[in-house]
Structure 1
């Protein structure tokens, strides 16, 4: 596990640092990160009305909320479980939606200037890109790539895969034609 100084250095190397990142959350990161896990992006935001920090690492997404009196809420999203990510930009803030294993997490109050870049980095990562030095795939191009990956997921049943396809179509990430073609590939 990295120590606090290493965590601070990783965050400083990100370039654009979110001024809203909480000191308590940063101080809690060394106990949450796995050995040799590297931070690739971080933004402030709120999940279930709890203000905290959304961190992307080379292995997963982590939302953490460290309370003043010692409470800690941590929710993580391993990349292999993330089926898609979307964002919405408002006047001042953005919202990032993470779809993973049939669940949806909505992180609101993300600084508008950082929401799109964060989501695009994660989208690139889950679509097979390395995340560093590559141009993120456009939103429309990422959906078919996600569908291709569904068939090869270990331990996933056919029903789970079909439900995920339906969710992607319901989110508007797949056209009717893409949905039908992907479903046909699964049913072969």
Structure 2
């Protein structure tokens, strides 16, 4: 079903749709149309992809505050969210044609299958970067995108900064991060070196 006009779509959602291949959102038309009704005030969409979870094929959305799964069926719907500060890790697995995203949050494991490989990996990387940014947000700061400094982690298993910079560049190139977010996060990583 075609949209009546492009003014009906929020600018942040339209920007993500413009840079997301149609193969990454197959079967998620209803969810995309209803996405604004699931978002909180001030919450912005950063990335999205379709995938199979629970009752059916739906939309997995990364926002400034959470990862949100929505499924809008003909007779039922399902919504589940994973606040970024509750996600402990993300795992990405690929098969021959499609991939699987696994989110570990608050002791639970959620598996999203039948995801477009390229877009699913970009989404997994974006979630990882946002989890790290959320973990480093000073008290009183409302979103990861607003964080300008990161507290160094005293951990022997700290992530490789060169690998983080490479992934950060991929997220910028994929359009998931704005140039401002890229520069802020790059500066945080370089300051830890």
TM-score for the superposition, normalised by structure 1 = 0.63
Q: Aligned to 2:92, which of 87, 91, 95? A: 87
Deviation at 1:81, TM superposition (A): 0.2
Q: Aligned to 2:31, which of 10, 25, 34? A: 25
Q: Aligned to 2:72, which of 63, 66, 69? A: 66
Q: What is the correspondence of 1:1-188 to structure 2 with a 5 Å cutoff? A: 4-6=8-10, 8-17=13-22, 18-20=24-26, 22-69=28-75, 71-128=76-133, 144=158
Per the alignment, residue 164 of structure 1 pairs with none
Other structure's SS at 1:35 match: coil
Gaps of 5+ in 1: 132-140, 146-188
Between the aligned partners of 2:45 and 2:27, the Cα distance in structure 1 is 14
Q: CA RMSD in A?
A: 2.6
Between the aligned partners of 1:24 and 1:14, the Cα distance in structure 2 is 19
Greater length-normalized contact order (CA 8 Å, ≥ 6 residues apart): 2
Gaps of 5+ in 2: 1-6, 135-143, 146-154, 160-193
Report how many aligned residue pairs link the two structures.
133
Other structure's SS at 2:42 match: coil
